[in-house]
């Protein structure tokens, strides 16, 4: 079983991500340095089906817990800072336009995570995906993560890897950005760690992400 993931970023989408967003410009920008833990807020949006959330809170907490294990060595932590549940969110996301439309729900200064019942591949329609880091073509520059409830625990960590500076997949077994995993904790190599640091610094500088806190790493 691999990390099913969406299509790679286009060059244009990647450039849009680097520009940052006016959404985050309300507070002075933060910065981080070595030996610090940056706590990032995740705005969680859960789709509903027949009045019930498509995934329970335990699912979200398992995903966050694994992401925190994976990213702790790199000085990043993730916390659910808000949770929204709405009939307006499609439980089954099949098309590009359905992915794009989620941009309307994006909350500022947070990593936005949409949890859905199913996520289809937009290039090979019958194929099912587990997660994707998606740049909205209709709500530029919004970009966010979409996670299917069928995801095993490390899928959010992998998608956060994309969000935080690593759009490409790796061929190295056990790497966070690889489809081949092992029983060990997934890792980032040195160049991926550098891109993570650069990406995070950019998000904090532009204010696109406003950390919940920056503290000495224990
Ligand atoms: Zn991926």
Cross-strand bridge partners of residue 114: 45, 146
Q: Report how far ligand 1's centroid is from the alpha carbon of 50 (Å).
A: 30
Q: Report how far ligand 1's centroid is from the alpha carbon of 2 (Å).
A: 10
Q: Report how far ligand 1's centroid is from the alpha carbon of 51 (Å).
A: 31
Distances (CA, A) of 112 to 96, 103, 135, 166: 18, 9, 12, 17
The pLDDT of residue 114: 98
Q: Is 16 a residue whose pLDDT tops 50?
A: no
Q: What is the pLDDT of residues 93-128, one digit of tens each?
A: 999 999 999 999 999 999 999 999 999 999 988 899
Higher pLDDT residue, 31 or 153?
153
- At a CB cut-off of 8 Å and minimum separation 6, what does 48 contact? 54, 85, 86, 87, 89, 91
Q: Report how far ligand 1's centroid is from the alpha carbon of 124 (Å).
A: 16
Q: Is 9 a residue whose pLDDT tops 80?
A: no
Q: Report how far ligand 1's centroid is from the alpha carbon of 177 (Å).
A: 6
Q: Report how far ligand 1's centroid is from the alpha carbon of 133 (Å).
A: 8
Q: Report how far ligand 1's centroid is from the alpha carbon of 158 (Å).
A: 6
> What is the pTM (predicted TM-score) of this model?
0.86
Domains along the chain with CATH numbers: 11-18+37-209 (3.40.390.10)
Q: What is the pLDDT of residues 50-108, one digit of tens each?
A: 999 999 999 999 999 999 999 999 999 999 999 999 999 999 999 999 999 999 999 99
């Amino acid at each position: 079983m691999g990390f099913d993931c969406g299509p790679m970023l286009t060059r244009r989408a990647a450039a849009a991500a680097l520009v940052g967003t006016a959404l985050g410009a309300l507070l002075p920008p933060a910065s981080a340095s070595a030996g610090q833990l940056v706590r990032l807020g995740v705005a969680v949006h859960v789709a509903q089906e027949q009045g019930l959330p498509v995934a329970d809170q335990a699912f979200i907490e398992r995903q966050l817990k694994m992401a925190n294990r994976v990213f702790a060595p790199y000085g990043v932590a993730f916390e659910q800072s808000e949770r929204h549940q709405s009939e307006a969110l499609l439980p089954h996301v099949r098309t590009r336009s359905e992915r794009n439309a989620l941009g309307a729900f994006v909350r500022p200064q947070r990593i936005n995570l949409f949890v859905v019942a199913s996520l289809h591949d937009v290039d090979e329609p019958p194929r099912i995906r587990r997660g994707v880091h998606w740049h909205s073509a209709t709500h530029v520059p919004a970009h966010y993560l979409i996670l299917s409830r069928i995801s095993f625990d490390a899928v959010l960590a992998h998608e956060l890897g994309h969000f935080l500076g690593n759009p490409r997949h790796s061929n190295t077994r056990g790497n966070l950005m690889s489809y081949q995993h092992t029983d060990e904790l997934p890792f980032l190599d040195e160049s991926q760690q550098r891109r993570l640091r650069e990406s995070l610094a950019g998000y904090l500088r532009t204010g696109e992400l406003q950390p919940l806190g920056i503290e000495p790493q224990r």
